[in-house]
């Protein structure tokens, strides 16, 4: 199940208000019950700790999906291809810990999916969002993240920091406040026991007993190696969330690094 989350509540409100196209979704109207719960095994974090993190609302027809992304330059956000696919307008919210207030909003209809994205296997689940007018990066609440080099590899057991406003339990609700979780990577051989279609562009992270994971709404967000502070992965998918034996699956940034450089100039 892809880690995007269809915010049908938006649809209802937008239909009633009748101004779907004319403005950004009203963030206060998102269904956010159970906001005191934790992103599957995570903890509160502030945007100053992860100023590269952005919240995305993707308008698809009259529906909105929620995803995450990372700021890689003044004009580009890195995310997952399944997030942007069929989007009419993308709302990028940067520089805030709270999903429903603060920060800056940018909207754009310019994005590029990786040409080899395969929706069946989620291979090459990576995309770039272009904000032609640029974002204001203040260095405190908004800042670029360094990306893993094309030649780099991820040793099994590497500790990752994953952040977002996604569901706090499988089939639960999104979080109003930014949450973080730390999980170790594992080898692809180990991960194939759970996902036999795993490709060389993908890697897994999680704990065997489950309980800690990214979830729907966190998709497209960054997985950063805690020792180096470099973004090594992009949240892609998982079987449920935080289930024992089913780690989260990420796109390996190093394997798509040259495509990013060609298309974003970063
Ligand atoms: C979440 O919903 C799916 C589909 O209805 C179901 O198969 C799954 O068991 C649910 N998970 C939990 C933890 O309730």
Closest CA to 3 of 88, 53, 65: 65
Whether the predicted pLDDT of 101 surpasses 90: yes
Closest ligand 1 atom to Cα of 170 = 13
CA nearest ligand 1 atom 13, residue: 170
Give me the chain's average pLDDT, please. 89
Average pLDDT over residues 235-255: 97
> Which pLDDT tens digit goes with each residue over 39-49?
699 999 999 99
pLDDT band of 124, cuts 50, 70, 90: very high
Residues assigned a catalytic role? 82, 125, 219
Q: How many Å lie between the centroid of ligand 1 and the Cα of residue 217?
A: 16
pLDDT band of 4, cuts 50, 70, 90: low
**Measured at the alpha carbon of residue 56, what is the angle toward residues 219 and 64, in degrees to the nearest 5?**
90
Of residues 139 and 13, more confidently modeled? 139
* Three-state secondary structure string covering the chain: CECCEECHHHHHHHHHHCCCCCCCCCHHHCCCCCCCCCCCCCEECCCCCCCCEEEEEEEECCEEEEEEEEECCCCEEEECHHHHCCCCEEEEEECCCECCCCCEEEEECCEEECCCCECCCCECCCEEEECCCCCCCCCCCCCCCCECCCCCCCCCCCEEEEEECCECCCCCCECCECEEEEEEEECHHHHCCCCCCCCCCEEEECCCCCCCCCCCCCCCCEEEECCCCCEEEEEEECCCCCCCCCCEEEEEHHHHHHHHHHHHCC
Residue 171 Cβ inside 6 Å of ligand 1? The answer reads: yes
Residue 170 Cβ inside 6 Å of ligand 1? The answer reads: yes
pLDDT band of 95, cuts 50, 70, 90: very high
> Which pLDDT tens digit goes with each residue over 159-212?
999 999 999 999 999 999 999 999 999 999 999 999 999 999 999 999 999 999
pLDDT for the residue numbered 36: 32
> Which pLDDT tens digit goes with each residue over 77-88?
999 999 999 999
Residue 37 Cβ inside 6 Å of ligand 1? The answer reads: no
Q: How many Å lie between the centroid of ligand 1 and the Cα of residue 185?
A: 25
Closest ligand 1 atom to Cα of 241 = 13
Residue 244 Cβ inside 6 Å of ligand 1? The answer reads: no
Closest ligand 1 atom to Cα of 169 = 13
Of residues 30 and 182, more confidently modeled? 182
pLDDT for the residue numbered 14: 39
Residue 100 Cβ inside 6 Å of ligand 1? The answer reads: no
Average pLDDT over residues 121-128: 98
Question: In whole angstroms, what is the distance from residue 39 CA to residue 126 CA?
Answer: 23
Q: Considering the chain, what percentage of its residues have pLDDT values greater than 90?
A: 85
């Amino acid at each position: 199940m892809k880690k995007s989350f269809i915010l049908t509540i938006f649809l209802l409100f937008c239909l009633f208000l009748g101004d779907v196209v004319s403005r950004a979704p009203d963030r206060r109207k998102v269904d956010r019950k159970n906001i005191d719960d934790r992103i599957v095994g995570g903890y509160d974090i502030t945007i100053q700790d992860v100023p590269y993190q952005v919240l995305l609302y993707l308008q698809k027809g009259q529906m909105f999906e929620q995803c995450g992304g990372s700021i890689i330059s003044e004009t580009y956000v890195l995310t997952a291809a399944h997030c942007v696919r069929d989007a009419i307008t993308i709302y990028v919210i940067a520089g805030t810990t709270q999903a429903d207030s603060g920060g800056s909003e940018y909207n754009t209809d310019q994005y590029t999916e990786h040409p080899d994205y395969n929706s069946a296997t989620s291979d090459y689940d990576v995309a770039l969002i272009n904000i032609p007018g640029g974002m204001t990066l203040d260095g405190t609440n908004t800042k670029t993240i360094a990306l893993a080099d094309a030649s780099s590899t991820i040793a099994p057991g590497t500790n990752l920091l994953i952040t977002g406003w996604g569901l706090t339990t499988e089939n639960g609700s999104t979080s109003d406040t930014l949450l973080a979780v730390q999980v170790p990577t594992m080898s692809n051989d180990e991960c194939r026991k759970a996902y036999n279609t795993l490709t060389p562009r993908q890697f897994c992270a999680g704990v065997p007993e489950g309980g800690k994971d990214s979830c729907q709404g966190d998709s497209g967000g960054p997985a950063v190696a805690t020792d180096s502070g470099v973004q090594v992965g992009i949240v892609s998918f998982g079987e449920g969330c935080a289930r024992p034996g089913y780690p989260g699956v990420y796109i390996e940034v190093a394997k798509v690094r040259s495509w990013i450089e060609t298309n974003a100039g970063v």
